[in-house]
Amino acid sequence: MNLNGKTALVTGSVQGIGLAIAKAFASEGVRIAAHGLADAAKAEKVKNELLEAGAPEVRFFDADMRDPGAIDAMMDEMESWGGTDILVNNAGIQKTVSLAEATAEIWDAVIAVNLSGAFHTMHRAMPLMAKRGYGRVINIASVHGLVASVNKAPYVSAKFGLVGLSKVAALEYASAGSSETGGVTVNCICPGWTETAIIEPQVQARAAKHGGDRAAGVADLLAEKQPSKRTSDPSEIGQLALWLAHPVAHNITGTSIPIDGGWTAQ
């Protein structure tokens, strides 16, 4: 069994890690449900990129991941399209702020997008995966789902919660399907510093200490946490997600796999 003809919903896939994952799946003939906050021109650009990458069909969704009703409407459309074989919860936001300075609004938004949104998509998609005997949930957590850092209480809480949610779901669906059908698995990928827009504010803050030199800012950021002193490219996360979706990975479930240059090995 290969992935040709499967359908993947990748949230937060208009740029960065999400788009790289969507392109990886597209390259194997997977139908792609792209998602994100984008105007019509950006949405069309993303659709064309995924078609060029090999997707036989692409649909675009703009559901607000803070709104359970909007997520339900998206999942209704996914079911009418034949259901979600592969679910990648990548949509996320981050606000670097101290615990003392974090407002209720910041907390609620970060938890809603990074954690509650994943619950709502999994709640809808996974029972149907179990009926078919094949399904993949790949939650893009973070090293901050495994270790903490200062000034990231909402984000770390959400990502630790996402790892925990994934473990519970993995256990509940572990016996669904078979090695022949591919089974139903739930795993987290936990990237460290990766070249995406979400880390840019932190890069610029470090660059400001070096006269605005972005390369020096990146080096400063890496030196503190990531022993490899190399950032990851989003395509590297895409390739791991693609491998986890294959039937060969039927017995890999409930894991949290770092791509972090040794950050969490310390």
- In angstroms, the first-to-last Cα distance of the chain is 39
Which amino acid does the sequence have at 130? A
Residues 155/144, Cβ–Cβ less than 8 Å = yes
134 is catalytic: no
- The one catalytic residue among 155, 160, 173, 193: 155
Residue positions counted in the chain: 266
CA distances from 162 to 64, 111, 144, 146, 254 (A): 18, 10, 10, 10, 11
Name residues whose C-beta falls within 8 Å of residue 35's C-beta, 6 or more positions apart in sequence: 9, 10, 11, 12, 13, 14, 18, 60, 61, 62, 63, 74, 91
Active-site amino acid positions = 155
